[in-house]
Amino acid sequence: MTDMFPLTLEQVIVRRQRKLVLGPVDLTLDQSGLTIILGPNGSGKTTLLRVMHGIERINAGTISWAVDDPAKHAFVFQSPIVLRRTVSENLAYPLRLLKTPPQNVRAAVHHWVERIGLGGVRNSPATRLSGGERQKLAIARALIRKPEVLFLDEPCANLDGHATREIEALLQETAANGTRLVMATHDLGQARRLARDIVFVLHGKVHESGPAETAFSNPKTSEFAGFLRGDIVT
Ligand SMILES: Nc1ncnc2c1ncn2[C@@H]1O[C@H](COP(=O)(O)OP(=O)(O)OP(=O)(O)O)[C@@H](O)[C@H]1O
Ligand SMILES: [Mg+2]
């Protein structure tokens, strides 16, 4: 359990090339669970995640954590970047940066390489992995540092059902173990399977936020209701 939350965004605005990309956004995320940021392409999901992680320049507003510690955040990008090294070395790398003692690095790498089912290819170059394997590696490489909050940007985009199920199981277990997850997706089925809370964004604005169960059964806005019906929301 983390003491970093709540995370509060107040009147946050992001403009790029004079275009309003996000905001104004007012949003509070509390301590536990799994928040899904939902919305169609171009709605601002990635921008909102990057704002929360502190890697997006904002033009107005404030972002405040109860206790901020960037070392306790991790971010998994939509297209995972793997190092041109073996699978094991990819996992060891973040711990080496933290000057973790070698025997602890070995133990953690062993645990994670088995947990993501890549024990058999631990000494192969990570660049040879399939898309789903790369994404699992990217998630494990983020989790190996034991972050208190993990942001994920569409981690299952372009993956098939099997790889998606494996990643969803890993994320559910991670959330159950107390890591706070905040994840963007435009996949409604995935949101229904995973979300405890949802944030629905459209044209850079939050149109709905709160407990998933209530939002799905009783959407407050016509925009979210339309998205749930499968309408093409524009
Ligand atoms: N650097 C930039 N310059 C100009 N426009 C930008 C820039 N970055 C993002 N945008 C615009 O901001 C809007 C929101 O982008 P964002 O990537 O956050 O959306 P998204 O919901 O993540 O979309 P997708 O589902 O396609 O990943 C888009 O219209 C995009 O074109
Ligand atoms: Mg995106």
Q: Among the atoms of ligand 1, which is closest to the Cα of residue 184?
A: 22
Q: Which of 17, 38, 47, 154 maximizes ligand 1 atoms within 8 Å of its Cβ, making it the mutation to test the pocket?
A: 47
Cα–Cα distance for residue pair 58/231, rounded to 1 Å = 31
DSSP-assigned letters across all residues of 76-97: E-SS----SSBHHHHHHHHHHH
Can you give the pLDDT at residue 70?
A: 86
pLDDT at position 219 over 90: yes
pLDDT of residue 1: 64
Q: Is 44 left (phi over 0), alpha (psi -120 to 50) or beta?
A: left
Domain boundaries, the chain: 7-81+149-154+178-229
Kindly identify the ligand whose nearest atom is closest to the C-alpha of 44.
1
CA 141 to centroid of chain Cα atoms: 13
Q: What percent of the chain has pLDDT over 70?
A: 99
In the block, tokens 């964004």 appear at 201
Whole-number Å distance between alpha carbons of 144 and 26? 32
Q: Which helix (H) or strand (E) holds 151?
A: strand 149-153
Task: Look at the domain 7-81+149-154+178-229 and name its fold.
Answer: Rossmann fold (3.40.50)
The reply to whether ligand 1 has any atom less than 6 angstroms from the CB of 183 is no
Say if residues 10 and 59 touch (Cβ distance below 8 Å).
no
